[in-house]
Structure formats: C-alpha cells, structure tokens
C-alpha cells in the first residue's frame, strides 16, 4: 500500500483483500496489513520471514471480543433466560464447527496464507482465522463499530437459527469427545420388560466416569436422554 497527497492506493493482493472485506463484512480499511496478519497461519512464519506475524495473537483477541459481543447480545435479547441457558446459546455460535463452516462459506480458504507442504488446510484453521479477523476489525474500527459489523455478519450467517438449533445430543457429545480426545460409551444398567413393554436405563460414561443416566422404551431413546443430560452437565 502507498500514499500520495492523502490518496491511498493498493497492490493487487490488497485489492483482493479489500474486495473480500467488503463482500464478507461490508467494510473497507486503510490497514490491509492488519487483515493480512489475520489471514496468516503460523506455518507461513518461518526463520526467513521474521518480519511477518502469524494470526495467533489476533485469534486470541478476536475470541474474547466475539465472546463479549455475543454475551451482550444474548443478555439484551433474551431477558427471561437463565445464565446456564445463555451460556448454552452462546456456545452454539462460537463452537468450532460453526465458525469453521462460516469461515469456509465466506472464502477464507483461498486467502489463507499457509506453508503446509503436502498437508491440506484443516477446517479449524478457517474458524481460527475468522476469530483473528474479528480481532483485526476491533483494532481497526473500535468496539462499537465492530459489534455492529460482526453482529450483522453473524445474523446474515444464521445467528438466530444457530442459537435455537437443537442438535442431536448424542452426535454433539461424540463431536465433543473426539475434539477433547476422550472415550465415550453407553452402557445398559437396567432392562425391564413389563406387559410386553421394554424399559431401558442407560448410563453415559466419558473416560470410564459415569455421567448422565437416561431412560426410555428403547436403547436409542435412553441413550439420547443420557447424552442430553451429559451435554447439560458439560455445558455443550
């Protein structure tokens, strides 16, 4: 980027970045280097590129800003919800799978600066870069403007639907256990048959520790109840 008598001009890379920011967030900037950093994975920062910075610090900042903005939005919008309910609603938006999906949909993959050799870009890199972009917008525009920009952006990408989405509890629990490298099993602790009707009691165990216990007329129904109770305990 250069400047002549107060008029800014951009190179080809910066023009592509400006187009991306306008398309995704409806913003423009005179600080393209800030957004280039947000889109730079740590693999692209080597001993020979010491002047470059990765997006890790911006990701840290963006994560905190996103958390605060969503907490404020949910607090104002859902005055009858309890602290636990608000926490679950917020977690649906900021969960890694949702941010990865949004990052993919706005085209972060094609702009991400990486040096992975033969490895492919992992989906989590897209969600991480999205958080870093929120951090960059905050440093560029300030909190109030960032809050307006990011909330509009999230609403365009299904904020309300995501908050109220009832994800299958067992599937959600499997994802959580995979992410945190924990084992998940469901065990029958009781089976009754009365007048031809089955009744199951199932316990959900994570790393052999007993968590939620569910009941139902089938193993599947009892597992779902046990999974839902466990998800509530883990706030996921």
Output the six-digit token pair for 52.
Answer: 């470059």
| Predicted local confidence at residue 130, as pLDDT | 98
Secondary structure (3-state) at 91: helix
For residues 128, 133, 134, 135, the Cα torsion angle rounded to the nearest 10 degrees is 90
| Predicted confidence (pLDDT) at residue 161 exceeds the cutoff of 90 | no
| Predicted local confidence at residue 4, as pLDDT | 37
For residue 205, what are the β-bridge partners?
185, 210
Structure confidence by residue, pLDDT tens digits, 122-150: 899 999 999 999 999 999 999 999 999 99
| Predicted confidence (pLDDT) at residue 6 exceeds the cutoff of 50 | no
For the chain, give the number of residues: 236
Give 161's Cβ-side CA count (13 Å radius).
6
Pick the catalytic residue: 59, 131, 140, 223?
131
Pick the catalytic residue: 63, 67, 97, 175?
63
Which of these ranges, 47-61, 104-118, 197-211, has the smallest mean pLDDT? Answer: 47-61
> What domains are there in the chain, each with its CATH number?
2-163 (1.10.1520.10), 169-234 (3.30.160.20)
140 classed as catalytic: no
| Predicted local confidence at residue 52, as pLDDT | 85
| Cβ count within 10 A of residue 109 | 15
Q: What angle do CA 24, 30, 34 make, to 5 degrees?
A: 70
| Predicted local confidence at residue 48, as pLDDT | 63
223 classed as catalytic: no
Burial class (CB in 10 A: 0-12, 13-18, 19+), 12: exposed
Contact criterion met (CB below 8 Å) for 101 and 179: no
pLDDT band, residue 11 (cuts 50/70/90) = low
202 DSSP 8-state letter? E
| Predicted confidence (pLDDT) at residue 112 exceeds the cutoff of 90 | yes
Structure confidence by residue, pLDDT tens digits, 15-26: 899 999 999 999
């Amino acid at each position: 980027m250069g400047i002549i008598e107060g008029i800014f001009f951009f190179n080809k890379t910066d023009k592509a970045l400006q187009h991306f920011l306008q398309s995704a967030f409806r913003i423009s900037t005179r600080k393209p280097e800030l957004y280039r950093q947000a889109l730079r994975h740590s693999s692209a920062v080597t001993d020979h590129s010491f002047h470059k910075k990765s997006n890790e610090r911006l990701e840290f900042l963006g994560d905190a800003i996103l958390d605060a903005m969503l907490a404020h939005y949910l607090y104002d919008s859902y005055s009858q919800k309890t602290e636990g309910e608000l926490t679950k609603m917020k977690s649906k938006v900021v969960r890694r799978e949702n941010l990865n999906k949004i990052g993919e949909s706005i085209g972060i993959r094609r702009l991400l600066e990486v040096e992975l050799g033969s490895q492919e870009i992992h989906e989590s890199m897209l969600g991480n870069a999205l958080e870093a972009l929120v951090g960059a917008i905050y440093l560029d525009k300030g909190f109030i403007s960032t809050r307006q920009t990011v909330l509009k952006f999230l609403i365009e990408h299904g904020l309300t639907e995501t908050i109220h989405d009832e994800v299958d509890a067992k599937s959600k629990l499997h994802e959580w256990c995979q992410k945190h490298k924990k084992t998940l099993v469901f065990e029958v602790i009781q089976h009754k048959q009365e007048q031809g009707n089955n009744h199951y009691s199932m316990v959900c165990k994570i790393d052999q520790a007993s968590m939620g216990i569910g009941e139902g007329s089938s193993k599947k129904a009892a597992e779902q109840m046990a999974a839902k109770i466990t998800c509530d305990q883990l706030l996921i």
